[in-house]
Chains A and B, each alone.
Chain A
Amino acid sequence: MKKYVSAKNMVVALAVAFAMIFPHLGFKAYYLHIAVLSLLNILLALGLNLIAGYAGQLSLAQAAFFGIGAYVSALLMLNFQLSFWLAAPVAALCSGLVAITIGVPTLRLKGPYFVIATMGFGEIVRQIFLNWQTVTRGPNGLTGIPAPNPISLGFVRLTFESRVENYYLILVVLLLVLVLYYNLVHSRVGRALRAIRNDYIATQVLGIHVAFYRILAFAGGAALSGLTGAFYAGYIRFVSPDTFTTGESINILIMMVIGGMGTIIGPIIGAVFSHLSAGDDARFPPNIVWLSMAC
């Protein structure tokens, strides 16, 4: 057992080290772009994993929460000149709050009903992005989003303009999220969520508040997706409704399933591999191969 744990720690350390030096290995800029997108997708898949993998409720609204985060942070930065470091948490908070409002009534639903309700919600959000022209500029999207504001540490000044800098920024965020995630999953909350997934009636009988934990997982996953949206907006500097479709929700779902849902390593493997195979935008065809393997 001890040997296994130390081997596992070794693999984790190697993976982190590889991620740290990746930009300096001399790959083309395109691959670095793919790497940044993979990191963002890992965060999205982790968000879905919380509600689908641990609490057992499959949600197809993740792209909508991602979109809410991206739009809220972009609008705050563009219209109110707010600092990115303030806009990002507000964006995460907004996604979480929206998830609570939509989750309170719909999380009573089970199986396909919940899936369809979240799909409907995702579609509503996309239609609002598309049609609320005065605020979201409709199908044209929001352009000219500023990069995250520089941080001054006294002796160095960190900027986040270039691809490499964004890579490190998002990598650090991902590592922080992973530490939190690991602790959450191995805490009382994580145990309660897994119990609910395995048998919610038995869990209820044991005195665990099923609705509370489900909403917690849903809101947590949504807030994570919203945070990812803010970093996405800060990296790409452009958001449009085309990104936040049901198809994107399905992509996130596929990434989570390929790696193995209900685990932490699963979404990471899934997101990285589906990007290795799919490249940037030709997203569907290679995923079919992965999907058929997953089934």
Chain B
Amino acid sequence: MVQEFVQQVVNGLVLGSTYTLIALGLTMIYGILGIVNWAHSELYMLGAFVGVFFVVHMQLPFLVGLILAMIVMAGFGMAMDLLVFRPLRSAPEINMIIGTLGISIFLVQAAVIVFSPNPVRFPTEFSEAYLSFMGISLTLQRLMVFCVTLVLIGFLNYFIKHTLIGKAMRACEQNKDAARLMGIDINHVSLVTCAIGAALAAAAGTLVGPIFLVSPQMGLATISKVFAVVILGGMGNVPGAIWAAFILGLAESLTAGFFSSYYKDVVTFCILITVLIIKPAGLFGRSQIEKV
């Protein structure tokens, strides 16, 4: 019983790490650009395929492949910002939703055509290595997901808190017009934000690709969970997203372990709707009064 519990907690932490990495980019893009990016989980899917390319086809070590995938997808994120987000930034909300949904459909279909709809295996040098103590066993890959996530959160925190561009990002989040008056180049900030968001999503894809399978549909299966995370944490709230990701990851794996794996998604969305009803600003958000 205790073993089972600990095992599920470990699984939950791995799941939570994935959600964290994807949700961080999503929540930052909302906070800073005001765009709800429905295509964000496709960056996670593409990141996994780029990771497969570097690690399986090019035979590079896993960590090198991970970093390369992040760099490639950062470039992709910037392209997405230039081509789609910049024209949409001042458009009505509904156009943004439809526009980013369109990118999502486009990328999934493009991936189906390019990579074929069949799931791909992604073996790495860590996926066969097991660690076990006190009856709990986990692959090194799962441990790695958690550790790399912590490292990336650390980097992101340093970047946002202690660099000039990080300061500019925080300024944009608080008040875009005032930030512009202070001479901050919004286009530059949004480019950097998208690059970071895409790189984090790619890291998530490359990290969990070896645990599950890599397929064009993997993003669609995740996006609604990630939205749940972002809303639970409060949209645009970075620490909130991290906490919410781990809470949801644990809730999901504990439900699957002790209640029913069929209904684990139902539990996630029930939590989501309950939070939306009781505290729409999120568990960690401040509620705002709309000024006319």
- Residues on A close to B: CB < 8 A? 52, 56, 58, 105-106, 108-109, 111-113, 115-117, 119-121, 123-124, 127-128, 130-131, 201, 246-247, 250, 253-254, 257, 261, 284-285, 287-288, 291-292, 294-295
Given A111-B93, A112-B93, A295-B99: A121 and B266 within 8 A (CB)?
Answer: no
- Residues on B close to A: CB < 8 A? 30, 36, 93-95, 97-99, 101-102, 105-106, 108-109, 220, 224, 227-228, 231, 235, 262-263, 265-266, 269-270, 272-273, 276-277, 280, 290, 292
- Cβ of B17 to closest chain A Cβ, rounded Å: 22
Number of A-B residue pairs, CB cutoff 8 Å, is 90
Contacting residue for A109 out of B105, B266, B276, CB 8 A: B276
- Cβ of B287 to closest chain A Cβ, rounded Å: 12
Contacting residue for A108 out of B270, B280, B292, CB 8 A: B280
Q: Which residue of B lies closest to A246 (CB)?
A: B224
Q: Which residue of A lies closest to B91 (CB)?
A: A295
- Cβ of A249 to closest chain B Cβ, rounded Å: 10
Q: Across the interface, do B272 and A120 meet the contact criterion of CB distance under 8 Å?
A: yes
A106 to B109, CA, bound (A): 32
User: Which chain B residues border A56 with CB–CB below 8 Å?
Assistant: 94
Cβ contacts A to B, 20 pairs, < 8 Å: A105-B273, A109-B276, A111-B93, A112-B36, A115-B97, A116-B224, A116-B227, A117-B273, A120-B269, A123-B224, A123-B269, A127-B262, A127-B265, A201-B290, A253-B101, A257-B98, A288-B102, A288-B105, A291-B105, A294-B98
User: Which chain A residues border B227 with CB–CB below 8 Å?
Assistant: 116, 119-120
User: Which chain A residues border B265 with CB–CB below 8 Å?
Assistant: 123-124, 127
Q: Across the interface, do A58 and B97 meet the contact criterion of CB distance under 8 Å?
A: yes
- Cβ of A35 to closest chain B Cβ, rounded Å: 25
Known: A112-B36, A113-B276. 19 other contacts (CB 8 A): A58-B94, A112-B235, A116-B224, A116-B276, A117-B276, A119-B224, A120-B228, A120-B269, A120-B272, A123-B269, A124-B265, A128-B266, A130-B262, A246-B224, A250-B101, A284-B109, A288-B109, A291-B98, A295-B99
- Cβ of A120 to closest chain B Cβ, rounded Å: 4
Given A113-B231, A128-B266: A106 and B98 within 8 A (CB)?
Answer: no
User: Which chain B residues border A106 with CB–CB below 8 Å?
Assistant: 273, 276-277
